[in-house]
Amino acid sequence: MTTTEPSGASDAGTPTPLLSVRDLDVRYGAARALSGISFDVRAGEVITVLGANGAGKSSLARALSGLIPSVGGTFAIDGHDLTGRAPHVIRKAGIIHLPEGRGVFPALSVIDNLRMAVSEIEGRPQRRDAIERACELFPVLGQRRRQRAGLLSGGEQQMLSLARALATSPKLIIADEMSLGLAPRMVDVVFDSLAKAQQAGVSVLMIEQFVHRALGFADSCLILERGTQAWSGPANAAAGEVAARYLGSDSSEVA
């Protein structure tokens, strides 16, 4: 991750970043949620966004998926400006947002959840292939394809949520607190699933309560403090910053 390079710049040997965010400002009415946020994410990179409750992490996720408008700044994928675009346009450009909570339809079967996810892919064989790839990546889902999603464990529901996202061949997955409320073994399932996404070449922007696990998994880190960018840099250099900046005052980490 770099914070200084202008969007779309490509010096020799420095490819255009996958995601490029510049001076992003977000407000809820008069209340400022984010101010002056700038960072890049390379293709295949995992970035973790950390910060205390209310720091603006979910607001960043919502702004980058078009759910809330930004009042200033820009963001782009592969150099294509997506600022102010509708959520479906942003999805089509390759940013998939997994919001807080479980992103599955509990009353539908696993396979119907996957069918819904791929409904925008053109061509029946292509849709079938996308579902088969998801079931191969996550064999548990393949084995339980006829089961109602609501009967899966919490970790498996998050796995299904991620499988639904991956079935659409995204470039960047924004995962907002996927491990929230899960038992430790299920948190492992979530991290293993995210590792599969990364191995498939997808970039991940991960918002996580398990700070040290997130830093162990991510390449880079962005720390938000009351809506501003307090620090950004390599994940392996972030532990001290996290301790100084917010774990000391407002720790929500349990592991």
Ligand X SMILES: Nc1ncnc2c1ncn2[C@@H]1O[C@H](COP(=O)(O)OP(=O)(O)OP(=O)(O)O)[C@@H](O)[C@H]1O
Contact positions vs Mg ion (CB under 5 A): 57-58
Residue 51 interacting partner from ligand X, Mg ion, none (CB closer than 5 to 8 Å by kind) = ligand X
Q: How far is the CB of 58 from ligand X (least distance, A)?
A: 3
Q: How many residues interact with ligand X (rule CB under 6 A)?
A: 11
Residues 39-78 that bind ligand X (CB under 6 A): 51, 53-59
Residue 12 interacting partner from ligand X, Mg ion, none (CB closer than 5 to 8 Å by kind) = none
Residue closer to Mg ion (CB basis): 71 or 180:
180
Residue 158 interacting partner from ligand X, Mg ion, none (CB closer than 5 to 8 Å by kind) = none
Q: Does 254 bind ligand X (CB under 6 A)?
A: no
Residues 4-33 that bind ligand X (CB under 6 A): 28, 31, 33
Whether 193 and 164 have beta carbons less than 8 Å apart is answered as no
DSSP 3-state helix, strand, coil percentages of the chain (rounded to 5)?
A: 35, 25, 40
Residue closer to ligand X (CB basis): 55 or 238:
55
> Rounded to whole angstroms, what are the CA distances from 112 to 3, 160, 164?
41, 11, 10
Q: How far is the CB of 59 from Mg ion (least distance, A)?
A: 8
Q: How far is the CB of 124 from ligand X (least distance, A)?
A: 39
Separation CA 149–CA 127 (nearest Å): 20
Residue 28 interacting partner from ligand X, Mg ion, none (CB closer than 5 to 8 Å by kind) = ligand X
Q: Among positive and negative, which fits the CA dihedral 61, 67, 70, 75?
A: positive
DSSP string, 70-108: -SEEEEEETTEE-TT--HHHHHHHTEEEE-SS--S-TTS
Residue closer to ligand X (CB basis): 156 or 177:
177
> Rounded to whole angstroms, what are the CA distances from 48 to 66, 76, 124, 219, 221?
20, 18, 36, 8, 5
Residue 35 CB neighbours (<10 A): 18
Residue closer to ligand X (CB basis): 34 or 197:
34
Q: What is the contact surface with ligand X in residues (CB under 6 A)?
A: 28, 31, 33, 51, 53-59
